[in-house]
Structure 1
């Protein structure tokens, strides 16, 4: 139900729906993206609290509307069914709201919170959805927004089905979507075929592994950021990259600033109080009195990250980096660099983002950035690796040192589970981003102290993360069926 609160005590109503026979996708090859994955694919402006559970379903709903518009059938109603992790933590992640809003024509990149609340209330009262290019459609949030805990879709843990019905209420059009992490969405057919999302012209540096990345860098004489920049400019041009990078950092910085100046209690029922403002105010006061302890820099990094993730938990505007659940690590690392490192310059932000995106692309291509697929190691672990690489780059690190920094950060997140209490992106997620930022900075610093030679290659660490995620019990992968989610009272 729109706006209801999911708890461990009272679960939303489950409606059984007919499911057509489907191929077994368990043995399909992993979905891979050719190496070009744009910085603007890796970093998307969107809304909280989850890229997989909020942004992805909203995007899927928009795609379904386009499919309906292209269909010759006459439709009279809509229905949506959430499965797997999307069902178990759907209300806590606002998946129901996001799906309904997507079916009402909203999209993450231009989301208007005030307009959204009005539309949700209208749909609740009228049981109708009106959207451009289609007739008025029946949709009862109580009956047509279905949480199906029993029917597991085999393509990915984050599965959903969207259906359009005819005047008699029979399903006339059905599509299965998978939200595969970071706001990326694929249909069942796309996932089963191992479809690449990269269908553009070739790029000059299509590296698919860290080893290839270092080899291409050595042969070309270009930095990792330089190679990634060449790839981006081959597709979108220098001006598009420049302006887009500026906007990404502006959204990140604005998100930090909002979080540092907003207090209160986060929505969802856990009564989690915002802490970033209080910590920030105390840090400012201490700095004015010149009483800061040497370790206080860790508090600065943590408060920047917590500010972002408190905004994310409240449904605010964030940048997936690479996901919403890990959205605070990179802005915190960048803010640390700009505000606390002597000689730092905003002119280096583009290099930071490009380097981070290069590492994130390797993780996504060879493993996963999805908590529902591989646990929090795939989210905060990936974010820390990307941030460590970006920081190392802007502090003058060689490609070998950058690869080392990414490996150190990821290695020390291996095995991290995803067990959000009550299905909310709050506990342990908010603090976890702070610790991820601290690890990212430490990893970059350690790498810069060496010459880039190290025992464990980044490629081996990424593969280990993939294997660990495959072996991890599903109850520790975003379902809130294990770990802290069942050991912390939330009723």
Structure 2
């Protein structure tokens, strides 16, 4: 498997595949053609169908400034390799267009035709959950220890920065009010939910604050704020919310939070390596489902759970999101995305509590669920895989509750 730094990328929302990835591609192309005065960028498949809502065009134009940019939306054309494809070309008269086809494959990662089939740099000899559990049995070292042993000091520094960005997103989100950009006239709720949670007690307070923290990050992401892919922008509110509430409940210091992040990253890595974290490939189960598994594992570790209990919590987090569609209204990472983050954060916390009451033994393993999720995504019709052509996305022009 690759470094968990490929799971945790820092950047601006609202989408890792539709915003972060295209921005990275635009920067690469711009650096190669610094003297060009105009560009043409063609968007294919899912990028064309939901790019407006994800601010794909805005992000690309901003990155290529001050050059003039023409965006072409090819909604009915899709490249075979991946549904998120875009092509750059120099549009200066008399100049070589030097066309470059690139794919945004999820989590902010990009590949092109030259390297799309090349093997990524693998630094882990373990490739699935069973390998990691076997490593624990052989060495006595658990998830986060494997990460630190494999990736060294560099990953510790990265995880420190990741947590700082996550906390900052929560703090900003709890302070903001008003409408979220995009046209749905969706009001921010995090500040209101948090202020109301303070008056509550016990479980009601805990759950309400999880809601508020997840809302804070998800609303920041929807507004184009700085977040961390965990494993994507569209699911970026789940892990921070669960880490924040777990820190408050279990009194975990910064070092323990960083270790929990390492474990969460390893869980996300397993899914990415063996299935997909891209909504355009497997639906929202690959984004929110994976994020829930990551957060459940982290919370279980912070509560003192065993490796078996951590695996069980992660398995539940993914299993109970199987079949979840990606059908954003108007292509915006708002409805149903924001509320899905909230409910998945709560489900992750509950999965941790559930697993902690067990001995860690259960019937379906994490590797099996990952395999099933991949196959479910393949079986899922394209209208439900980030194309805004099916599900809730069909009701973007009305049928809302009037209250």
Measured against the shorter chain, the TM-score band is over 0.9
Q: Does 1:256 align with 2:170?
A: yes
Partner of 1:198: 121
Deviations 1:183-217 (A, max 9, x none): 011112322x2x22316xxx4x5210111111111
Find 2:9's aligned residue among 37, 44, 50: 44
CA RMSD of aligned residues (A): 1.7
Structure number, greater radius of gyration: 1
Equivalent position of 2:143 in the other structure = 224
Is this contact kept in 2: 1:60–1:102, CA < 8 A? no
Q: Call closer, same or farther: CA 1:391–1:294 in 2, change over 3 Å.
A: closer
Counterpart-to-counterpart distance in 2, 1:89 and 1:396: 42
How many residue pairs get aligned? The number is: 399
Structure 1 contact 75–172 (Cα < 8 Å) conserved = no
Corresponding residue for residue 265 of structure 2:
357
* Corresponding residue of 2:45: 84
Residue in structure 2 matched with residue 421 of structure 1 by the alignment: 329
Whether the 8 Å contact between 2:325 and 2:384 is mirrored in structure 1 is yes
| Pairing partner for 2:133 from 198, 201, 214 | 214
Does 1:189 pair with 2:114? yes
**TM-score of the pair, normalised by structure 2:** 0.95
**Moved beyond 3 Å, runs of 4+:** 66-69, 74-77, 292-296
Distance 2:110 2:41 in 1: 16
1:268 equivalent in structure 2: 182
Q: Distance in 2 between matches of 1:232 and 1:46?
A: 22
> Is 1:153 aligned with 2:63?
no
User: Counterpart in 1 of 2:243?
Assistant: 334
Which of 376, 380, 390 is 2:284 aligned to?
A: 376
TM-score, structure 1 normalization: 0.78
Secondary structure of the structure 1 residue equivalent to 2:98: strand
Superposed CA offset, 1:328-374 (max 9, x none): 000000011012x1443322011101101111110000000001111
Question: In the alignment, does 2:88 pair up with 1:162?
Answer: yes
Structure 1: gaps of 5 or more residues: 1-34, 105-122, 124-128, 130-138
- Which is richer in helix? 2
Tell me, yes or no, if the aligned pair for 1:401 and 1:451 is still in contact at 8 Å. yes
Q: Identify the residue that residue 24 of structure 2 maps to in structure 1.
A: 59
Quote the residue 1:172 is aligned against: 97
Q: Structure 2 CA distance, aligned partners of 1:171 and 1:447?
A: 60
CA contact (8 A) 1:57 1:102 kept: no
SS of the residue aligned with 2:11? strand
Question: 1:189 aligns to what SS in structure 2?
Answer: coil
Q: Does residue 279 of structure 1 match 2:193?
A: yes
In 2, Cα distance between equivalents of 1:150 and 1:348: 48
Return closer, same or farther for 1:224/1:294 CA change in 2, 3 Å cut-off.
closer
Give the unaligned 5+ runs of structure 2: none
- Provide the secondary structure at the position in 2 that maps to 1:160: strand
- Secondary structure of the structure 1 residue equivalent to 2:53: coil
